[in-house]
Structure 1
Amino acid sequence: MVKPYTKAIRLMPKWKIYDKEDVKRLTKVRPGETKIGEIVSAGAEGLDHSRLAIIGIPEDIGIRANLGTGGATTAWNAFLPAYLNLQSTQSLRGAETCIYGYLDCSDLQHLKHSESVSALREAVNLIDQAVAGQVDEIVAAGCFPVVIGGGHNNAYPILRGAASGYHRTGRIAAEKLDAINLDAHSDFRRREGRHSGNGFRYAFDEGILEKYAMIGLHRNYNAANVIDEMAREANIHYCFWEEIFLEERCSFKEAVLEAIAFTRSGTTGIELDLDAIAGVLSSAMSPSGITSTQARQYLHLCGSKAPVAYLHICEGAVRLDNGLIDPTTGKLIAYLVSDFVRALGQNRSFS
């Protein structure tokens, strides 16, 4: 249940919808080439004749509500021109894609670090409401959502909106989805108010998330009580980074395929937290983790083999509040999205 933001209803975030001119301004045209941005559609009209809809959630309210480092607001504006300036080819056709818009959280972003954690967590409820409603609308229009965050708090409203939309269109019998998450953290902490560390918990407890598979958790950053609880749940599967790369119980590819097999009975959301990739600028960046190549392999495998419901890439940043900068994050996300979209062309369940 989404609770109202009692202190400032006027701060409700609003969707900013793109038009074709917005897209053209970000596209660099060259003779003899066709860029994605030259032929994608835009805005609400684009939903009528597209298979995929890309939306942005440039916020870090959920991250700061989890006592994390802000800066995830910066990924969307770096990703979009990087993606629009990719080459449109037979395997990556821009004509199939709609650049829909982004959630303008600028009013909420004025909640500074001095604000109480409870106020930030209350504000996340507003983001939940806006995201769930828009994802529901996109899915009901027959489009596949590709969501670029923002914090991992948005997994909860994306799951809720996608489950509702697919149920309304008859693709799923009940309003519930599965999810696969490549992440250093489970994001399954207790329901203590909404933030980036408990989106999957809320979805699981409310019956929106049926089966949850996690790949590459870091032993150092997942609490024992959470791991113990997940171990008792038949509908939860996880493996640690250390099991793959130190103990060599399985290969990375085997771990991904095992997660796909675990969730194969249901329609599955695909989640990638960029803090799983070593050295990538994110709210909880780490010197240890998977490589960008392995992240690309993960999305290729999921995109080609899983019964996919949506793609969500989150937690990345070009500039963090602590001053760290990496201008390549947007290009990395563009690589990841393009890998996934190409893989969908090989997926028999995607239609």
Structure 2
Amino acid sequence: MRTYFVTYQLKTINKYISHRKGEVKIGEKFKFVEGKSPLEEEIKASKSKYVIFGIPEDYGVQANHGRPGAVSAWEATLRSLLNVQQNSYNKGGKILLLGHFDFSNEAANINFSEPELPKKLQSVINRIDKEVTYLVNVIVSNGKIPIVIGGGHNNAYGIIKGCALAHAKPVNVINIDAHTDFRTTDLRHSGNGFSYAFDEGFLNKYFIFGLHENYTSKEIFNKLDDEDERIQYNTLESIAIRRERDLAGEADRALSFVQDEHFGLEIDCDAIINIPSSAMTPSGLAVNDTRYLTHKFSRNENIQYLHICEAAPDSDKKSDMILVGKLISYLITDFIKK
């Protein structure tokens, strides 16, 4: 794993911290691995409850014909998260900032303009799956909670598989998303991480929160309804437009569906209104509603991980990087506050 993983120390990320007299930022209080022992041993020895790492890639998104840019979300997050104030609400010592994956060499010889790009990207995505599965397995096996910042939603597969292997049984998932990512299991990409995990026995119960009716096919709806004992969902329109369902009530329903077993929380930024993402939307969940859901679900004792993905800021646009960085930082701090 060391081949693909870049570990951090304070000196690595200090350039991102805005030091001010009289203030302490949580980035100054984060814990880091020393790099003197195998990574697995350092994770085990850490006393931090949460382990944060990034997967800056958009290979899975591009294999799904999506808008690239998810590769930049990790840096945007670092620049914001490290500068959150250390205070009675935010305590950096609870966090082990591990580092990030770098799979760029795996894709060095790929022509991203060729028609057969999805097929050409399979070896890269399969490698990502393997490495993410292993690292999440190590983190969860040692009683810690991974917070994973992507990257594409293809990485849900490796995270779910890693958790399931750590517990030696399938896990449940709540996915706040405009899409099901439950497409056919032919080629691996960002649109079928959950169907792969479901078919291979790593995902048990699956709740999709805020599904968009305009972008879900009849075939997918039929597939979900055929598996109604293990898959449930609500739609954005039923909550926010027709007001048939109440957000708080739906949060309780989702939690009731998954909380009997270990479960993970997925947040796809495509679900949130006006956030630069691989499928940016003018109609979606409000940021504060997403924060509320994150806080509520994270309070449950069976929560296993947080995965935030598909944010795709333009790295050349300062406004994009600030917006995405602040959004993801809010969601992370909402997740870890007790």
**Partner residue of 1:64?**
62
- One-letter amino acid of the structure 2 residue matched with residue 177 of structure 1: V
CA distance in 2, matches of 1:144, 1:80: 18
- One-letter amino acid of the structure 2 residue matched with residue 280 of structure 1: I
**Partner residue of 2:204?**
210
**Partner residue of 1:221?**
215
Match of 2:292 among 287, 291, 297: 297
- One-letter amino acid of the structure 1 residue matched with residue 122 of structure 2: R
Match of 1:37 among 27, 52, 58: 27
CA distance in 1, matches of 2:288, 2:230: 29
Q: How far 1:90 moved relative to its partner?
A: 2.3
Match of 2:195 among 186, 201, 221: 201
- Partner of 2:89, secondary structure, is coil
1:71-111: CA deviations, max 9, x gaps?
10000011012111111122321011110010102224543
**Partner residue of 1:236?**
231
* Structure 2 length-normalised TM: 0.91
Gaps of 5+ in 1: 1-11, 168-173, 346-351
Are residue 255 (structure 1) and residue 228 (structure 2) matched?
no
Are residue 119 (structure 1) and residue 120 (structure 2) matched?
yes
**Partner residue of 2:36?**
none
1:109-167: CA deviations, max 9, x gaps?
543422422111332111101111111112223321000000000000001112222x2
**Partner residue of 1:99?**
97
* Structure 1 length-normalised TM: 0.88
Are residue 288 (structure 1) and residue 283 (structure 2) matched?
yes
Q: How far 1:46 moved relative to its partner?
A: 6.0
Contact residue 73 and residue 324 of structure 2 kept, 8 A: yes
- Partner of 2:298, secondary structure, is helix
1:278-317: CA deviations, max 9, x gaps?
1100001011101111111110111123620100000002
CA distance in 2, matches of 1:112, 1:307: 43
Change in Cα spacing, 1:108 to 1:281, as seen in structure 2 (3 Å) is farther
Change in Cα spacing, 1:265 to 1:46, as seen in structure 2 (3 Å) is closer
Contact residue 283 and residue 320 of structure 1 kept, 8 A: no
Q: How does 1:1-351 map to 2 (within 5 A)?
A: 14-43=4-33, 44=39, 45=42, 48-110=46-108, 111-115=110-114, 116=116, 117-165=118-166, 167=167, 174-233=168-227, 234-305=229-300, 307-319=302-314, 326-327=320-321, 328-342=323-337, 345=338
- Partner of 1:305, secondary structure, is coil
Contact residue 72 and residue 320 of structure 1 kept, 8 A: no
- Partner of 2:267, secondary structure, is strand
Contact residue 43 and residue 139 of structure 2 kept, 8 A: no
Give the count of matched residue pairs.
324
Identity fraction in percent? 40
Q: How far 1:68 moved relative to its partner?
A: 0.6
What value does the CA root-mean-square deviation take over the aligned residues?
Answer: 1.9
- Partner of 1:152, secondary structure, is coil
Change in Cα spacing, 1:235 to 1:179, as seen in structure 2 (3 Å) is same
Change in Cα spacing, 1:13 to 1:238, as seen in structure 2 (3 Å) is farther
- One-letter amino acid of the structure 2 residue matched with residue 85 of structure 1: N
Change in Cα spacing, 1:82 to 1:288, as seen in structure 2 (3 Å) is same
- One-letter amino acid of the structure 2 residue matched with residue 244 of structure 1: I
